[in-house]
């Protein structure tokens, strides 16, 4: 089995992604030597498991974690992040299997975190600006703005884009504690994770908001075949509102 040993491990959750996996792009990313990749197959029913096993067997810096059942994206990310943390890298993170956030942008996020010791986490943010290429449907953009506004209200901090699938974290006791328990929603877990890091978990104190940085991406694109259904998005919204009231009772 490949054992990623670089300073950063990126977790890639996969569910029935056989036809969308750009294996050459992931291989090129691993070949940079700056990032190792841990694919997590979330109980896929197609050939995803075989595809990522083949990559793991043939490419240094790529490994595969196969989950027996489909537990949802949140649990796939949590299982992968915990497995990555156990290997002791300085930085761990996750991105979507469709590479909506291109490899070069992932490297840039990791570089931002590695270069500033004051930071605990760096998140990609999809902000359409002159000189950038952010390809996102208008509907998803405006729904995202509503969701992010509610998430900011729930967390008590201003976050522009909670749902961008590219996030990297420093390996800290706070991150380990935040990942110790499952998340209530398979899609709203990004907000829950940030909430746990800000508030603290158990005996581990929270992290100062100044230790988080959102970095506007230069490139991002909608990829056909998104697994986020209307019901999932609604469930995530309900979970984020619930989080607000949970935090207010503390």
Average pLDDT over residues 240-246: 79
| DSSP letter (8 states) at residue 5 | -
Give dist(CA 71, CA 216) in Å, integer: 31
Query: Residue 14: its pLDDT value, please?
Result: 97
141 neighbors 220 (Cβ within 8 angstroms): no
Confidence of residue 223 (pLDDT cuts 50, 70, 90): confident
Query: Residue 1: its pLDDT value, please?
Result: 39
Query: Residue 153: its pLDDT value, please?
Result: 92
Average pLDDT, the chain: 91
What are 120-150's pLDDT values in tens digits?
999 999 999 999 999 988 888 888 899 999 9
Average pLDDT over residues 12-29: 96
CA-based torsion, 130, 132, 133, 134: positive or negative: negative
Average pLDDT over residues 170-183: 96
Identify the weakest region by mean pLDDT among 2-11, 49-58, 132-141, 229-238: 229-238
Residue 235 clears pLDDT 80, i.e. is over it = no
Identify the weakest region by mean pLDDT among 36-40, 108-112, 138-142, 222-226: 222-226
Give dist(CA 47, CA 240) in Å, integer: 34
Q: How many CB atoms lie under 10 A from the CB of residue 46?
A: 13
Topology (CATH level 3) of domain 8-248? Spore Coat Polysaccharide Biosynthesis Protein SpsA; Chain A (3.90.550)
Identify the weakest region by mean pLDDT among 2-16, 20-34, 43-57, 201-215: 2-16
Query: Residue 204: its pLDDT value, please?
Result: 95
Average pLDDT over residues 142-170: 93
Give dist(CA 233, CA 218) in Å, integer: 26
Query: Residue 4: its pLDDT value, please?
Result: 46
Average pLDDT over residues 56-80: 96
The CA radius of gyration of the chain, in Å to the nearest whole number, is: 17
Query: Residue 226: its pLDDT value, please?
Result: 59
* % of the chain beyond a pLDDT of 70: 93
Residue 184 clears pLDDT 50, i.e. is over it = yes
What are 197-210's pLDDT values in tens digits?
999 988 999 999 99
Query: Residue 61: its pLDDT value, please?
Result: 96
């Amino acid at each position: 089995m490949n054992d990623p040993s670089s300073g950063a491990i990126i977790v890639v959750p996969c569910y029935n992604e056989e036809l969308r996996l750009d294996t050459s792009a992931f291989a090129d990313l691993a070949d940079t030597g700056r990032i190792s990749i841990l694919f997590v197959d979330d109980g896929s029913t197609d050939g995803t498991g075989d595809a990522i096993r083949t990559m793991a067997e043939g490419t240094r810096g790529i490994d595969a974690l196969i989950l027996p059942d489909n537990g949802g994206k949140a649990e796939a990310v949590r299982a992968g992040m915990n497995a990555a943390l156990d290997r002791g890298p300085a930085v761990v993170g996750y991105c979507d299997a469709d590479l909506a956030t291109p490899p070069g942008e992932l490297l840039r996020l990791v570089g931002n975190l590695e270069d500033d010791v004051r930071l605990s986490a760096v998140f990609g943010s999809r902000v359409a600006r002159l000189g950038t290429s952010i390809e996102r449907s208008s509907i998803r953009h405006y729904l995202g703005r509503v969701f992010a506004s509610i998430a900011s209200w729930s967390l008590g901090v201003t976050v522009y884009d909670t749902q961008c699938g590219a996030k990297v974290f420093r390996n800290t006791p706070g991150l380990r504690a935040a990942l110790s328990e499952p998340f209530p929603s398979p899609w709203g877990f990004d907000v829950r994770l940030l909430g746990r890091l800000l508030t603290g978990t158990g005996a581990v104190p929270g992290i100062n908001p100044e230790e988080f940085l959102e970095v506007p991406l230069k490139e991002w694109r909608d990829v056909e075949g998104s697994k986020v259904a209307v019901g999932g998005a609604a469930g995530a919204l309900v979970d984020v509102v619930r989080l607000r009231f949970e935090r207010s009772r503390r």
